[in-house]
Amino acid sequence: MKESRLGFRPMLLEVDETPKKWLVRVIPEMNTYHVGDAIQFMRSLPKGSVDGIATSPPYNKAFRNRGGHKSNWPNSKLMAANYAEFDDDLPPEKYIRWQRRFLREAQRLVGEDGVILYNIGRSIKNLNEDRREKIVKDFPIRQTVIWNRGSSNNQGGKHPTILPPIYELIYIIAGKKWRIPQQYLSEMRKWGDVWHIKFETGNPHPAPFPLALAERMVKLIDGVVLDPFAGSGTIGIAAERLGYSYYLNDKTEEYKGMFEKRLANERGMRNGIQD
């Protein structure tokens, strides 16, 4: 397993000895799935303590069928899937502000030599207005990768007004000192910036990464990896497979269970036993 480049060990106590206040911070355990709010979790990690963040936040899809509430799109398979503990339905401007807060916190954690791999789809409510640009405005975007998911559940109904949206973006947001890690360089040269990776179907989480996509993201990071919106923990599985240390976090306890099951399976496979 790789160490944090700052050499942090799990559960270290950090003491801030500024004259005005004493702050004792318990640094969260590495290679563990934490449950809580993404930004609060990130604030509990010291500046510069991860080398890369690979993540996909909720897309503000407004499913609203949780807990007996009806979906806005009851006939859509895509819209029928829902997160366990929240509606994913913020007012658009609030969603943008939240995601910008997240990106600022992410920058604090990765510093000048780290990277943020930020996957986000379009707004479902309004395909024309690209809110992604508003979210990432003024952040140091090194490159934008197009992820071609192969097909879409959104076929636009009987009288479609749109073509099925099949791509998402992965923003590579990086400080000046970030470089593509040498280890997988020959492999990366073949990827280019359009990735054809079929969306995941065999995962009970409503919006998981395909493992192949998560592996590419992790390979772009040179050290400790964080996914603060971890869901079923695909980034953690990729990190485990590739021998990286990681932090995972999600607000939903149920998804931690999904990850732990996958991790046990992954380790079992390595030892020749499968669930």
Shorter beta-carbon distance to ligand SAM: residue 120 or 224: 120
Instruction: Decide: 12 and 181 in contact? Cβ < 8 Å.
Output: no
Q: Which one, of 230, 272, 268, lies nearest residue 247 by Cα?
A: 230
Decide whether 178 or 259 has the Cβ nearer to ligand SAM. 259
58 binds ligand SAM (CB under 6 A): yes
Q: Extract the tokens encoding 256.
A: 């931690």
Closest CB to ligand SAM among 19 and 67? 67
DSSP at 113: T
Question: Distance between CA atoms of 13 and 87, rounded to whole angstroms?
Answer: 36
Q: Is 252 exposed, middle or buried (0-12, 13-18, 19+ CB in 10 A)?
A: middle
For position 236 contacting ligand SAM by CB under 6 A, the verdict is no
The span of 22-30, 65-73, 160-168, 245-253 binding ligand SAM (CB under 6 A) equals: 245-253
- Which of 152-160, 175-183, 186-194, 229-237 is the region at the interface with ligand SAM (rule: CB under 6 A)? 229-237
Locus of tokens 């992790």: 218
Rounded to 10°, the helix 234-242/211-219 angle is: 60
Using CB under 6 A, which of the segments 26-34, 130-138, 183-191, 207-215 binds ligand SAM?
207-215
Does 205 sit near ligand SAM (CB under 6 A)? yes
Q: Which stretch binds ligand SAM (CB under 6 A): 71-79, 138-146, 180-188, 228-236?
A: 228-236
- CA nearest to 27, candidates 56, 54, 7, 51: 7
Q: Which of 229, 265, 218 is nearest to 1 (CA)?
A: 218
Which of residues 86 and 151 has its CB atom nearest to ligand SAM in the complex? 86
Under rule CB under 6 A, residue 231 binds ligand SAM? yes
Would you tell me which residues interact with ligand SAM (CB under 6 A)? 37-38, 56-58, 83, 86, 205, 207-209, 229-232, 234, 250-252, 255
